[in-house]
Amino acid sequence: MIVFDNVWFSYGNREVLKGVSFSANFDERIAVMGESGEGKTTILKLILGLITPDRGKILIDGKDISSLSEDELIPIRRKFSIVFQEGALFDSLPVKENVAFFMREILKLPNEQIYKKVSELLSRVGVTDAEELMPEELSGGMHRRVAIARALAVGKTKMFLYDEPTAGLDPVNSERIMTLIKDLADKENIGFMIITHVVYVAWQLCNRFIFIKDGKILFDGGKQELILTEISAVKDFIKELFFKVEL
Ligand SMILES: Nc1ncnc2c1ncn2[C@@H]1O[C@H](COP(=O)(O)OP(=O)(O)O)[C@@H](O)[C@H]1O
Ligand SMILES: [Mg+2]
């Protein structure tokens, strides 16, 4: 379980989060929505202990992570499979080494086991015959799939974290990535948190929606509440839904 208890955070004098509280179970399907620059990625970084709050508490499975050392954070981070914004692969490594990275560097598994797992993970995300390709040779959709395969290599995932999973993809590939996100969660029976500024993506995949503006959570609720909301900033944000999906 993830708990944010009155979390405040600033980069220098840029105050980003001003008292954010929510709790989430690992099996939920949550969208964290908001305009660019509202602090969505910052929330992901806080969950992983990459940055620590100025005030307030973050608990992961009951453990306050602010005071943990880098070593103590490893088991916390391993609860999550993380796909960062743009999928960010290592440019100088071929696909198979990108996916192998965690198993080689952290788990220190033998090669034979690594490469078996690499093909297994790549086929799970629907990528075939690409093991030897370099990231620059991949299409946008393939790139994102490989990034998901790399995230899956962590192993003991309790929840997927996706930062803008469809950013930069054309509509067809966006739909494919959305299907993959849903299929993986269904198969593994684990939840996900998706950071997105695209309300359509959130709507298709999630059943809980958290909306951030000016450092605060303006809205936290389900589908019905979302479409019926009277909060004007949220209403504005979800406008495009009314053209895209049948409610
Ligand atoms: N490392 C950093 N140093 C200074 N400011 C940052 C840093 N990272 C993000 N910011 C600023 O903090 C705000 C929130 O960033 P972010 O969480 O990335 O927003 P979002 O993901 O919602 O677009 C933005 O105004 C951004 O410019
Ligand atoms: Mg972001």
Task: State pLDDT tens for residues 178-225.
Answer: 999 999 999 888 999 999 989 999 999 999 999 999 999 999 999 999
For ligand 1, atom 5: residue with the closest CA = 11
Give the H/E segment covering residue 200.
helix 199-205
Distance CA 148, CA 121 (A): 9
**Token pair listed for 241:** 């839904």
For ligand 1, atom 26: residue with the closest CA = 37
Residues 23 and 1 sit within 8 Å (Cβ to Cβ): yes
Per-residue pLDDT at 102: 85
b/e sequence 28-57, b meaning 16+ C-beta within 10 Å: bbbbbbbeeebbbbbbbebbbbeeebeebe
Q: Which residues' Cβ are closer than 6 Å to ligand 1?
A: 11, 14, 16, 34, 36-42
Residues 171 and 116 sit within 8 Å (Cβ to Cβ): no
Average pLDDT across the chain, whole number: 92
Å from CA of 235 to ligand 2 middle = 21
Per-residue pLDDT at 237: 93
Give the H/E segment covering residue 130.
none
- Please tell me the pTM assigned to this model: 0.92
